[in-house]
Amino acid sequence: MGAKRVGWLLVLIGGAALLLAACADDADDAVEDDAVEEADAAEDDDTDDDDDDPDAAEADGDEADEADEADEADGDEADEADGDDPILIGGAIDQSNDMAPFDEPAWVAAEIAAERINEDGGVNGREIELTAIDTQLDPERTQSAALDLIDEGADVLFVTCDFDWSVPAAQEALNEGLLTIAPCIGDPIFGPSGFEGDLGRLAFTFGNASFAEGAALAELAMDEGWEETITVTDDAILYFQNVCRGFTERYEEHGGEIVLEESFTQGDGTVEQVTGSVAGGDSDAVLLCSFPPDLPSYLAQLRATGVDQPLLAPWSGDGDFWIDAVPDLSDYHYATFVSVFGDDPEDEVNELIAAFEDRTGEPPATGGFVTGASAVQAIAEAVERAGTTDGEALADEFLAFDGFESVSGPITFTEDVHILTDRPFRIMEVQDGEYSVRELRTAESPPMPE
């Protein structure tokens, strides 16, 4: 068969196929048109029947109204649930061991702050509730306390005021996506740098940065002309190490000299050996980065051996609950959050102390108590802004704080640093066993760990 004839044959076959397809489409259209006409007719018949039967029309209207009312009721129930459910803050904290003098006062202050917020109507119509479990600084109890509080429906979790001891509880809360608060951890590791992945974005501490605390004490020492200092570091926890590191870095920047560096571990009995080394040294001041019970023992031994230089300490050396171990202690200077001795320059702080004493029968042990109240104030503000207790949403609001005013002072966090670096310290002075506010001091450009 010639090529031309084949070509014409293909054209004819193609044309026939197109014609058949067109006919099929026309047939389908006709069927569809008939179906639409029948459906319209049926709808008209139904409408006519309803018009002819007023009872049927009324029944249809009633069903529609009932459906609308059900939807509205469901919405009201959801709104009511959102509005009435309390904001539950759980506390996996130490109430009976070495951290109790720090954790428990902060928790009581948090309760007082929550009650005051509730008296003013709560947060978006929701009350704040607090419930705590004593961890006794036992890692297993700490973890189980967090899990129990999460099971109870905690929206936010408080943890103990030391990073190392807080981790078992903090990790569980962060894994559940909860905003996790340390009222007074003094190390910036409690945040993005301290937990794997993005978990640390939900971890915030209301403590003062340990490096800033050390820097403020160094600046105080240089202003006083104490140009040679001995430092003693308690290796028990990271906070002590970083206070002394912050002190050393800023002190040397300002021309000071560390003439001796000593260390020991809380409770291992070596503090007495350190005392002998310090007593034999020559310096203008001595810095001790530790806390009770070894701190007062160390101070007493120093004074007993004739060491009469000015003594420096961070917030962990706050309070007079240990002062009986060091009769008539003098020339002792330390940094803290606020004064608990009735002379704080802020009236709101003194009013909170009065409320604390009314509640417990005694004033708070240390100035760190105020951080519990400021943490609750910040949580309430974040929930009000976000309209939810979702951890990520609350973290966003925390990061939006730019000098948020709380009872402990202005609050500002950054994406990388979830601790306060520029809140003024109260520099306290003890003379003849009597405590007083010496000055307010903010570290100049506080150093931060790399």
pLDDT in tens, 319-371: 999 999 998 999 999 999 999 999 999 999 999 999 999 999 999 999 999 99
CA distance 272 to 275: 5
Task: Say what the pTM is.
Answer: 0.78
Confidence at residue 280, expressed as pLDDT on a 0 to 100 scale = 83
Torsion angles phi and psi, residue 431, rounded to 5: -130, 125
Please compute the mean of the pLDDT values over residues 197-205 and round it to a whole number. 97
Residue 449: band (very low, low, confident or very high) from pLDDT cuts 50, 70, 90: low
The domains found in the chain, sorted by start residue, are: 85-208+345-419 (3.40.50.2300), 211-336+428-441 (3.40.50.2300)
Encoding tokens for residue 390?
């979702």
Confidence at residue 275, expressed as pLDDT on a 0 to 100 scale = 87
* Neighbour tally for 267: CB within 10 Å: 12
* Nearest CA-CA partner of 447 in 237, 248, 222: 248
Please compute the mean of the pLDDT values over residues 257-285 and round it to a whole number. 89
- Residue 334 gets the label, from left (phi > 0), alpha (psi -120 to 50) or beta, of beta
pLDDT in tens, 23-64: 334 334 433 344 334 434 444 444 444 444 444 444 444 544
Cβ atoms of 231 and 284 closer than 8 Å: no
